Amino acid sequence: VAVVPTAVLPSKPVEIEIETPEQAKKRERREKRKAEFEVYLRRMMKRFNKEVREDTHKVHLLCLLANGFYRNRICSQPDLLAIGLSIIPTHFTKVPAGRVDLLYLSNLVKWFVGTFTVNDELSIEKGEPLQSTLGRRFAIYAARDDEELVHIFLIILRALQLLCRLVLSLQPIPLKETRAKVTKQDEKSSGSEEDNRNLGEKDMPVRPKNDRRRRVASKVCYKEESGSDEGSVSDFKASEEESSLSAEDFETVPKKQRKSLGSRKSKVTADKSLKTKTSELRLSKSSHEAEPRPAKSTATALPKAQRKRNKILSSDEDDGEQELRKVTDTDQWLEVFLEREDKWVCVDCVHGNVGQPQLCFKYATKPLSYIVGVDNDGSVKDVTQRYDPVWMTATRKSRVDSEWWENTLQPYKTPFVERDRKEEREFQVKLQDQPLPTAIGEYKNHPLYALKRHLLKYEAIYPESAAILGYCRGEAVYSRDCVHTLHSKDTWLKQARVVRLGEVPYKMVKGFSNQARKARLAEPANRDKEDLALFGLWQTEEFQPPVAVDGKVPRNEYGNVYLFLPSMLPIGCVQLRLPNLNRVARKLDIDCAQAISGFDFHGGYSHPVTDGYVVCEEYKEVLIAAWENEQAEIEKKEKEKREKRALGNWKLLTKGLLIRERLKQRYRIKTEPSAPEAEKGAGFSSDEEGGPSSETAVGDVAISWPQNRQVERQKEKKTTKKSKREKKGEAAQLFPFEKL
């Protein structure tokens, strides 16, 4: 049987607090205000980070574009063109630029690939200009990397008087932070060294190899702290090689993790073996570098995959492997304009491809965002649509605002307008030949196709019997040309168009104005009612302005004149942008109306924006002359007012100076030398010279001031009470400062 504990009374008094409804409301209001402020602060931080990232993206993009201009200008230097022309075989120079075709370009690329090699062991001096570097590369028929190889071939093509473009795949800082990067940063911040050590001690048994790794780590730490720089560097490298252990050293590692670690180890091992083979081949052929014209570098003796720098595509590699990884992507190639075929042809001299844009995309760094081509004269053209197969879906979303990008490239547009238009038509044909997207999300904001589910509030498909281009998961796919933007009657009026009589609204939606929203909230039955009628362009006609009759300006229902566009000006009227013209017109009894040019939304309401006044044309000259006369009168009155105020200020200042001088003369101390008679009256009128200020100064300071005189009189005579009238009369004889 359970023992029931005995109740014990508390020794101290017990306080029980009960929250009243008023306190609960205050607490809820305080918590709500705090939560709203946190949401607002978080939103502002996200907006700030987004703006900073967008500005950084734009600046980086402009820097890359400026670097492309510099490289293109260097490749057009006359000295380099002369050097390039001197090494070209004669049979290539005999063909004029107008007869160049694909076969000619293919043969030229074959000769170039067989003549020039890539040797990444070539030296590069710090601070050496690019022009000098390219000149030295011509002398040895070799380039240090793919970028120099493209520059050399561009110089050769321009030496042959061909119109060429230096095509650059710009890789700026991403406009949006990738998910993988965010996840990686979170993992780094959450996982500390202590947690990893504790996890290893719990899940993995201690084995000899772990002891050896600890000893190696202790050696590395000791040698890093030592003062010898050379020894510490060499020992640190050696210890790194010893400490690279595979995942097979641990038994309790999960199976999936062991698989990824094992594949990682095999890739690193293959990388090391390839480096060893390449170094042996380079050493075996180092003797040939002393010849006048060096033979092909050791890279040509390797297979094509080995000739290029190694590339690791695994996404789960650690930081050390990422630093050791060598990039093999080619982000620059060329385009040549063939006058015979009237089109641009891409040329990849690194891989020996001509007229194959899909291969240029294959070897370029992913993702592609901006591909620009710079002509001989510095003109720039965005050619991303030619190479990127996902231009209409993924690429457009990763780019900056299209309007800003177009404005940036506007000063560098090519002067050959017709050629540029033809190239744009080629882009459109290529995009239309691509198959329909297979995912629903790819149709959102697609430039060619649209789904009904992605239509916005003020969008609709017209005509209703529009052709269906296909189906995506059972939904009809329409052309983007069939998507039209609808507007209300008032919005169409702002574009100088009116809805024709008898037209039925093409679509009904909920109005967002304050008046419509309040009307819906007033009646619960109309809360879901669609009260705003929308019309399409095909249901409207141009606005026909009214005609002024008998000197009267035609007005709207509000007594104004809608003048959103110049074509809406009433016939027989003019617009005068003169301030306060309505007052002049009212005095002359002339009809005048305000011109409304738009609406400004602030403070939660719409406020009209005025732009001058509308008057009949026959009163234009009269009103302008009257307005000018009134402005002259206003200016004259303002001038007189300023002069009167200035004169009054000078009078006040002069009177103050006179009073000050009079007080000095009357109450000057005896010890000060008295001024001569001529100086006393200097600068004053005859009336002022005979006044109290011309009297001699009082010698006794004790009786000089009125207060002291009163004290002496009080001592001589007995004090008697004075009436208010007597006090008031005495106070009237005192100066203002004597009344204090």
Locate tokens 């200009």: which residue?
129
Report the pLDDT value the prediction gives residue 142, as an integer from 0 to 100.
92
Report the pLDDT value the prediction gives residue 322, as an integer from 0 to 100.
41
Report the pLDDT value the prediction gives residue 434, as an integer from 0 to 100.
85
Report the pLDDT value the prediction gives residue 454, as an integer from 0 to 100.
93
Report the pLDDT value the prediction gives residue 717, as an integer from 0 to 100.
58
377-403: buried (b, 16+ CB within 10 Å) or exposed (e) per residue?
Answer: eebbbbbbbbbbebbbbebbeebbeee
Peptide bond into 5 cis (omega under 30): no
User: Tens digits of per-residue pLDDT, 514-558?
Assistant: 677 777 777 777 777 777 899 999 999 999 999 999 889 999 999
Q: Are 652 and 614 in contact (CB under 8 A)?
A: no
For the chain, how many residues are written?
740
In this structure, which topology does domain 50-171+331-434 adopt according to CATH? Coagulation Factor XIII; Chain A, domain 2 (3.90.260)
Q: Are 153 and 349 in contact (CB under 8 A)?
A: yes
Handedness of CA 16, 18, 23, 25 (dihedral sign): positive
H-helix or E-strand containing 459?
Answer: strand 459-461
679-696: buried (b, 16+ CB within 10 Å) or exposed (e) per residue?
Answer: ebbeebeeebeeeebeee
Residues with pLDDT less than 50, the chain: 192-194, 196-327, 670-672, 674-699, 701-703
**Which two tokens mark 505?**
């609204």
CA 139, CA 293: separation in Å to the nearest integer?
8
Compute the half-sphere exposure of residue 280: CA atoms within 13 Å on the CB side of its CA.
7
Report the pLDDT value the prediction gives residue 6, as an integer from 0 to 100.
80
Report the pLDDT value the prediction gives residue 528, as an integer from 0 to 100.
75
Report the pLDDT value the prediction gives residue 180, as an integer from 0 to 100.
56
CATH among 3.90.320.10, 3.30.70.2460, 3.30.70.270, 3.40.190.10 for 559-674+686-703: 3.30.70.2460
Report the pLDDT value the prediction gives residue 483, as an integer from 0 to 100.
95
Report the pLDDT value the prediction gives residue 190, as an integer from 0 to 100.
53
Query: Per-domain residue ranges for the chain?
Result: 50-171+331-434, 212-244, 559-674+686-703, 705-740
Q: Which of 368, 357, 367, 351 is nearest to 146 (CA)?
A: 351
DSSP 184-245: HHHHHHH--HHHHHHHHHHHS---HHHHHHHHHHHHHHHHHHSS-HHHHHHHHHHHHHHH--
Q: Which of 619, 560, 567, 565 is nearest to 594 (CA)?
A: 560
Same fold, 50-171+331-434 and 559-674+686-703: no
H-helix or E-strand containing 41?
Answer: helix 21-74
Q: Which pTM was predicted? A: 0.61
Q: Which residues neighbour 570 within 8 Å (Cβ) at sequence distance 6 or greater?
A: 545, 546, 547, 548, 553, 554, 561, 614
Per DSSP, what are the bridge partners of residue 370? 170
**Strand pairing class (117-118; 142-143):** parallel
Q: Which residues neighbour 245 within 8 Å (Cβ) at sequence distance 6 or greater?
A: 209, 213
CA 622, CA 576: separation in Å to the nearest integer?
12
DSSP 480-512: GGGEEE-B-HHHHHHTTEEEPTTPPPSEEE---
Locate tokens 């459109």: which residue?
428
Report the pLDDT value the prediction gives residue 85, as an integer from 0 to 100.
93
Q: Which residues neighbour 336 within 8 Å (Cβ) at sequence distance 6 or greater?
A: 100, 105, 157, 162, 163, 164, 165, 344, 345, 347
Q: Are 187 and 120 in contact (CB under 8 A)?
A: no
CA 577, CA 592: separation in Å to the nearest integer?
12
